[in-house]
Each structure stands twice: as structure tokens, then as C-alpha cells.
Amino acid sequence: MNKTVVLDAGHGGKDGGACGNGLREKDIALKVANEIAKRLKAEYEGVECILTRSTDVFLELKERTDMANKTKADMLVSIHCNAGGGAGGFESFTYNGSTNAATAAFQNVLHGEIYSRLKGFGVNDRGQKRANLHMCRESKMPAVLIENLFIDVDSDANRLKRTEVLEAIINGHVVGIAKYLGLKTKQTEKPTDEVLNVFVDGVNVGQGDNLKGVTRGPVRALAQALGAQVIYDATNKRIDVISKK
């Protein structure tokens, strides 16, 4: 049976969310949500992604949770950036009322996977929190709201402008969701001689494997960390790496 994931890109349209340092929360949230949906569908079996918004439009909070609840989804992730946090950092939220074990487990997995990828960039872990937030309170499935760094904190804003940091945020969401739902990758698993951790300038961008002397690695994360653009064509089974001239 397919699993259904609702991805909620916070704010949108007339509501820009947090703004500062040349960034708008609504833009980052939309980019991250769209890319998470694209990768989940491309890389994993048995998953359907529903976006509360896939373009720059405004939706009331109730419209978002009504949409999610009608789908009877397995989980909801509301994607945001923060503001007013002093030292900045990354944090996640669930509802501070009656939270079931599934929601707590989902937050634990998702928070851990995202922060494990942000830690190498010097991001502050503000922890797993609970609050009376509409998206978590009114959703009828395990729901977590993610605050991906602080737009008005200079150090965080500079990080959000880096391709490799956005890649870490996106990849952490994808892996966390897939891990919690127990999704299977579309790739056929092959026996490997050894598993390799791949580092770019000291930052772990993922794992690859060495199969009979041929090394395979995380192409997207590796290329983007080196400043290249990666385009995945699922129809033609092709990956294009375009270097910046």
C-alpha cells in the first residue's frame, strides 16, 4: 500500500514569512518542499506526495490542514525558516497538547536526519520542541513543523544562500521521511565490497560504495558541494552535471 506524505511550504503569496538578508522564508520553503517531493517520488517506491502549495500562492492555515486531513495522509511536514532567534539554529516542533507515540517517533527521526547533515556547517541545534502551532494541532496525522535556520541571523542567512546547505536540508527531509515510513529505494541493491563516506572540504555529503573496484557515490550532493548544477531526468534515466563557468 502506498504511503502518502503531505508537504506544506509555509507562507506564500502575500505572506512572505520571515524576511531579511535578501531572503524570503516563503521562497526557501517552496524550493525545499518541491524538491523533497520530486526526490521522494523519483527515488523511492510506494510513496505519494501532496503539496499544499507548489507555487507562490497564499493559503490560510485552515485550508492547508483541511487539505491534508482529506487525504488521510500518513504524515505531514510543514517547512519553514525562523526569525528573531539570536544565535540562530535549527529546531523542530510538534503539538504541545496530546501527542501520540507515532508523532514523537517521527519528530525524533526527522530532526535527527536533518541535523546530522547540518551539524558539519556549524548550525546550532535548538532541539526538538512542542508548541501550540496550528499545522501540528489541527492535522489528523503525525505532523512536524521544521524551522530551517534563521533568516534574520547573518550567519544562518549566509548558510541558507549556500547550495550545499540547502542540499543538506532537502536530503535530511527526504531520508528522514523515507526512514520513518520504511520506504524502499527504486535502485536495485547490489553487493558491495565496502561502504565509503564521501567528504567535500571536510563535510560529509553522503555514502557511496566500492563494487569490484568501481566507486559509486552521492552524485547530486558531491556535484552541488563543488558548485555544479545537477539535473535528473527520470524518463531517460539520465543525470546531467553542469559546471559553473
Q: What is the pTM of this model?
A: 0.76
Q: Which amino acid is at 157?
A: A
Query: Could you write out the DSSP letters of every residue in 165-178?
Result: HHHHHHHHHHHHHH
Task: Please determine, for residue 94, whether its predicted confidence score (pLDDT) is greater than 70.
Answer: yes
Q: Which residues contact 44 (CB under 8 A, 6 or more apart)?
A: 178, 183, 184, 185, 186
- What pLDDT is attached to residue 245? 57
- Assess if residue 188 is contained within a domain: no
Domains of the chain: total: 2
Task: Give the pLDDT mean for 138-151.
Answer: 97
Q: Is 1 helix (H, G, I), strand (E, B) or coil?
A: coil
Q: Is 94 helix (H, G, I), strand (E, B) or coil?
A: strand
229 and 139 part of one domain: no
CA distance linking residue 106 with residue 177, whole number of Å: 8
DSSP 188: P
Could you give phi then psi for residue 159, rounded to 5 degrees? Answer: -65, -45
CA distance linking residue 130 with residue 96, whole number of Å: 5
Task: Please determine, for residue 191, whether its predicted confidence score (pLDDT) is greater than 70.
Answer: no
47 and 96 part of one domain: yes
Q: Which of 181, 207, 224 lies at the terminal end of a domain, its last residue? A: 181
Q: Is 244 helix (H, G, I), strand (E, B) or coil?
A: coil
- What pLDDT is attached to residue 196? 76
Pairing of β 75-82 and β 3-9 = parallel
Domain that holds residue 235: 194-242
80 and 109 part of one domain: yes
- Assess if residue 50 is contained within a domain: yes
Query: What amino acid positions are annotated as catalytic residues?
Result: 147
Q: Work out the burial of residue 14: count CB atoms within 10 Å of its CB; fewer than 13 is exposed, 13-18 middle, 19 or more buried.
A: exposed
CA distance linking residue 157 with residue 8, whole number of Å: 21
Task: Give the pLDDT mean for 222-231.
Answer: 73
204 and 172 part of one domain: no
- Assess if residue 109 is contained within a domain: yes
Task: Please determine, for residue 212, whether its predicted confidence score (pLDDT) is greater than 70.
Answer: no
Q: Work out the burial of residue 120: count CB atoms within 10 Å of its CB; fewer than 13 is exposed, 13-18 middle, 19 or more buried.
A: middle
Task: Please determine, for residue 193, whether its predicted confidence score (pLDDT) is greater than 90.
Answer: no
- What pLDDT is attached to residue 81? 98
- Assess if residue 186 is contained within a domain: no
Query: For 4-55, how does the pLDDT look when each residue is reduced to its tens digit (9 = 90+)?
Result: 999 999 999 999 999 999 999 999 999 999 999 999 999 999 999 999 999 9
150 and 200 part of one domain: no
200 and 161 part of one domain: no
175 and 60 part of one domain: yes
- What pLDDT is attached to residue 204? 76
Q: What is the mean pLDDT of the chain?
A: 90
31 and 84 part of one domain: yes
93 and 59 part of one domain: yes
28 and 110 part of one domain: yes
